[in-house]
Chains A and B, each alone.
Chain A
Amino acid sequence: MFTDHHDRVFAFCFSMTGNRAEAEDSAQEVFVRAWRSLKDWEPDRIAALSERAWLHKIALNVVRNRVRAAAARPPLAASDGALAVMPAPGRGPESAVEAQWLATQVAGLPARQREAIVLVSIQGFPYAEAANLLDRPINTVKSDVHRGLLALRRTLEREEVLAG
């Protein structure tokens, strides 16, 4: 399960937090929690599990809890200097900077829009599945995605960093 999903779980945490070190800590916590739960499960329950959705559900909780715990502490630096690399055939190192920048913008969205955008637009979940994970009506998720995309596009146009 780890090998199959560790990149996706990391990508989720990175997009949610905009911070590579924080994403690494969160993703680690996700897998340790997942493993602790699975230890006590019956084999047929494990077989019936939709691993991807289940891990994202855990990741959502982990990130939410960590954000809550961090609220009392000074805010995270947007970038710790070490950048995650976004795979882009034919593109140079600028894609790492781009990924960091974009993740920072996503992380800066209001929580509801951010969660919806990350699950649907970034992680590619269908609306129905994202609504299920977020425990919100599907139309709410749709409008959160829509509003989030609008806000992101405005920021991107204003900054003209990724104009192309």
Chain B
Amino acid sequence: MSDVRLEELLRRLGGVHAPARFEERVLDRYWIMDTPLGPFYVAWNREGVSATYEERHGESEFRDWFEDRYERPLVRAKEEPSAAVLHRFDMRGVAPFQRLVLEKTRQIPRGEVRTYSWVAKEIEHPKAVRAVGTALATNPMPVLIPCHRVVRSDGVIGNYGAGGPPAKRKILTAEGVRVERLAELAAQGVRYLGSNTTHIFCMPTCHHGRRVSEAHTVLFHDEQEAYAGGYRPCKVCRPVAVA
């Protein structure tokens, strides 16, 4: 083989292209999306959504916050993210405990709420109720990871980073939660709703519990009361930690 031929081959090796979508590994991109709480910035990369941020705080604030938190560059996208992107989340920059909390919170269905202690029990850290609150308060992807669906068990709706309790009430209402009814029940000390036909008890917003007609609904203040009446916990909303 001639040196000329070898040198030409080597030069061509220098012309290899980076793989398609390589850019998405290095740069997070962002776009503005509409939510029940108004416009939010949403940032994503190849792994999924990496952050959401209220638009009203400003674009440069968003970029500064993102780049400080993740130490990665962020650029404005040329087009909006595909629907598939918004269903995956990049949890690489999230601490392990917060990750557990956020993954669990993602499982709370639209139109329902759970309590901080429910999340704590479900992730098998039943005493870490406050830590759950902190993990949700610093949720880097509000709205898309529905931290608004976690409320206090005493009926107070609880705080919310993106606009406080009124915003939390607004987004829950938009999702079909009867916030006032929930607060009334909690104020009376009611934690669970049972059906006297099935003898199953649920969290108040569980979609199975909501199908029960008012005439057949029984109110419980705690699980002992339900057990004493011969009721068992719902397997879907798991009002009591799974044994």
Instruction: Give A residues with C-beta under 8 Å from B.
Output: 2, 6-11, 14-15, 20, 24, 27-28, 31-32, 35-36, 39, 82, 84-88, 95, 98-99, 102-103, 106, 117, 121-124, 149, 152-153, 156-157, 162-164
Contact = CB atoms under 8 A, between A and B. Distances in A.
Interface string B16-31: 1111001101110000
A32 B15 CA distance: 22
A49 B24 CA distance: 25
A79 B243 CA distance: 48
Contacts of B9: 98, 102, 162
Contact of A156 (B6, B11, B13, B67): B6
Query: Which 6 pairs of residues, A with B, have the shortest CB-CB distance?
Result: A10-B18, A122-B14, A121-B10, A84-B16, A31-B26, A35-B73
15 contacts: A2-B26, A2-B73, A7-B15, A9-B18, A11-B14, A14-B16, A28-B26, A31-B26, A36-B71, A85-B16, A86-B13, A87-B16, A102-B10, A102-B13, A121-B10
A6 B15 contact: no
A28 B25 contact: yes
Contacts, number: 105
A17 to B, nearest CB: 12
A98 B73 CA distance: 34
A117 B10 contact: yes
Contacts of B11: 121-122, 124
A15 B13 contact: yes
A122 B13 contact: yes
Contact of B19 (A35, A84, A87, A152): A84
B13 A103 contact: yes
B12 A24 contact: no
- Output the residue of B3, B13, B17 with the most chain A CB within 10 A: B13
